[in-house]
Amino acid sequence: MPPTDAPVSPDPVDELAAAFARDGVVCVRRLFGRAEVAAAAEVIEAVMERPGPHAKVASGPEDPGRFFEDFVRWQELPALEELAVTSSAAAVAARLLGGGAVRFYHDHVLVKEGGTEQRTPWHQDQPYYNVDGRGVSAWIPVDPVPRPGSLELLAGSHHGPWYLPRTFLAKEAKWFPEGSLAELPDLEAGRDGLDIRSFELAPGDAVFFDFLTVHGAPGFPFSGRRRVLSLRYLSAGARHAPRPWATSPPFEGLEAELAAGAAMDHPLFPLVSHRSSPTTSAGE
């Protein structure tokens, strides 16, 4: 038995959960090992070769690079389902969301080709979704990401308010109507005074962030590509919030099967059953 006054070293995963609750963002180094990074890279290549119905190019025709996105492909790609539901991403998400019946929400592939100038505008994800309650995304690059090309997140912004979601290129209010939510302040103008977090990342490192954390990303002014798999998870307290508009991503017809306010208990949102235990610790 250790002496009772021996210092107790805090569980690194609990430290991570405390940092996530405070800041709405944490970086986990080496979340994916070599085999998982290779599997994620293969998934991204398969998605790019055969884009799905929700795929889009979120950069203009004049951009010297390209910003490609696709969503919700896990049902066609068993390797993606495995990463989403049983990997250490699911394990860390479950710990960050406080346990309970954590569900996988959807996958999102985000690729910026080398030289892409298109910025990902500052935004929160949740106002585009069909859920109320908490969730977390794991943004996992399979290529090295230098800090000037990396995701940026405004610490503490997950406490709210919700900001009006707009289309990335034309800035249209296609979801909540104009005036119904606060406008996002001009973060670029005041960024020196803000607690903006960003990380230089190696393949398999991950940035976990709350569905309400305000985030954006620069273009990718490098020769390599920036291929990212983002895996999104729902807390046990998340509830279905059908909207009178098509959410992004859309879940057509779901309101006929899942009542407004119901738990997200549906085969589209499988329970996570992670095999790996999270032993990773927070990055800087």
Q: Residues interacting with ligand AKG, by CB under 6 A? A: 108, 110, 120, 125, 137, 139, 151, 215, 217, 228, 230
Report whether 211 contacts 125 (CB < 8 A). Answer: yes
Nearest to 245 by CA among 165, 191, 149: 165
Give the nearer residue to ligand AKG in terms of CB position, either 87 or 230. 230
Least separation in angstroms between CB 108 and ligand AKG: 6
Give the nearer residue to ligand AKG in terms of CB position, either 105 or 139. 139
Residue 53 token pair: 């119905």
Give the nearer residue to ligand AKG in terms of CB position, either 95 or 108. 108
Least separation in angstroms between CB 30 and ligand AKG: 20
Give the nearer residue to ligand AKG in terms of CB position, either 73 or 258. 73
Report whether 59 contacts 111 (CB < 8 A). Answer: no
Buried b (16+ CB within 10 A) or exposed e, 236-262: bebbbbbeeeebbbebeebeeebeeee
Q: Where are the alpha helices (DSSP H) in the chain?
A: 12-23, 34-49, 78-86, 88-96
With 0-12 / 13-18 / 19 or more C-beta atoms within 10 angstroms meaning exposed / middle / buried, residue 78 is exposed
Strand, coil or helix: 47: helix
Least separation in angstroms between CB 220 and ligand AKG: 9
Residue 175 token pair: 């979801």
Least separation in angstroms between CB 256 and ligand AKG: 28
Give the nearer residue to ligand AKG in terms of CB position, either 94 or 201. 201
Least separation in angstroms between CB 3 and ligand AKG: 47
